[in-house]
Amino acid sequence: MEEESMEEEGGGGCEAMMDDQNHNNWGAGGYGRHLLSPDAAPLGDRFLRGAVAGPAAGPELAAVPEANGVLRGCEAGGAAGKAGAGAIAAAININASTSKFLMNVITIEDYKSTYWPKLDSAIDQLLTQSPGDYIPISYEQIYSCVYKCVCQQHSEQMYSDLIKKITNHLERVSKELQASPPDLYIERFNVALGQYMGALQSIVPLFIYMNKFYIETKLNRDLKDDLIKLFTEHVAEKHIYNLMPLLLEAQSTPFQITPSTMANIVKGLYTLRPEWVQMAPALFSKFIPNILPPAVESELQEYAAQDQKLQRELMQNGFTR
């Protein structure tokens, strides 16, 4: 029943909104209408709309200019010059429709008490899920909440709440890592990194309308880049100087950690901050191509010696040729 009430509140909101505080033109023939049309929408939007039904838009009304406070072009039957009961009735109907829309506006109180709590709960579950977990949330409901809040001029508040929510989560993750013993530190960092990047694969698409009509157009940024930057600042930068010595030690002791864990962390660090390569070029070069300069003939013997050492270590750990 609550979701039905929300649908009634937001129905047709974007179509009726001419221009919001975020400079989103939702008017007839405007950019918003063009983007949201089934034929013009990008493939990703059409896919999401197939899975997540947005609010049904109401019937379109032709633009009716005002003259001395009275709506023109409302003559019954299209007869020009008739100022009879039909024109008055049409004007009343249009004004009643407009009043109904204004009564259904999502206020900031509605946003804080009804819409954001739903988004907050869903983000919590996405950030803390384990790979392969089933998340009992309605993607349709969350996508619809975001859509309506963007249409009703709450993009700025929603973006602020999202950044604050994820920042608080990452600060807790960082504190948990600080309390980890050295023998579990690498594995736990790998879990935190993988869990967060996996959550972004769901969070970013759910906020696609906020990204398009607020972050990209007004802030000239991208939501995914902003959220990756949060992990870099609140987790990776705080732990890189503890993590890197442990990675180098693990590299010198074969199979201390699994190759997949080492690869995930090294590639992840490179994605977060490519200049971290300079801290351990040899380590990064094992997983990132073209990190080191090209091989030269004078160093071939050294390369051969390193290869022989690796083969001996593999044989000592039970691997045969």
How large is the average pLDDT for residues 34-53? 40
pLDDT at 321 (0 to 100): 54
pTM score over 0.85: no
Residue type, 140: E
How large is the average pLDDT for residues 251-277? 90
Burial class of residue 238 in the structure, from the number of CB atoms within 10 Å of its CB (0-12 exposed, 13-18 middle, 19+ buried): middle
More confident position, 143 or 295: 143
pLDDT at 100 (0 to 100): 45
CA atoms within 13 A on the CB side of 246: 21
- Reply yes or no on whether the pLDDT at 102 is more than 90: no
More confident position, 154 or 97: 154
Per-residue model confidence as pLDDT tens digits over 55-77: 444 333 333 433 333 333 334 44
Reported confidence tier of residue 315, pLDDT bands at 50, 70, 90:
low
Q: What is the rounded CA–CA span in Å between residue 231 and residue 173?
A: 10
pLDDT at 138 (0 to 100): 84
- Reply yes or no on whether the pLDDT at 35 is more than 70: no
Taking the domains of the chain in order of start, what are their residue ranges? 108-316
Pick from 206, 201, 101: nearest CA to 145: 206
Per-residue model confidence as pLDDT tens digits over 165-217: 999 999 999 999 999 998 899 999 999 999 999 999 999 999 999 999 999 99
Reported confidence tier of residue 297, pLDDT bands at 50, 70, 90:
low
- Reply yes or no on whether the pLDDT at 219 is more than 60: yes
Average pLDDT value for the chain: 74
With a CB cutoff of 8 Å and minimum separation 6, the contacts of 125 are 135, 136, 137
pLDDT at 302 (0 to 100): 72
pLDDT at 300 (0 to 100): 66
Percent of the chain whose predicted confidence (pLDDT) is above 90: 45
- Reply yes or no on whether the pLDDT at 130 is more than 90: no
How large is the average pLDDT for residues 16-21? 42
CB 84 within 8 A of CB 76: yes
- Reply yes or no on whether the pLDDT at 19 is more than 80: no
How large is the average pLDDT for residues 39-68? 40
pLDDT at 282 (0 to 100): 87
Query: Phi, psi (5° rounding) for residue 258?
Result: -70, 150
Top-level class of domain 108-316: mainly alpha
CB 237 within 8 A of CB 189: no
**Maximum distance among all alpha carbons in the chain?**
100
Q: Of 38-47, 53-62, 167-176, 277-286, where does the model show the most confidence?
A: 167-176
Q: Which residues pair with 66 in a beta bridge?
A: 71
Strands (E), the chain: 66-67, 70-71
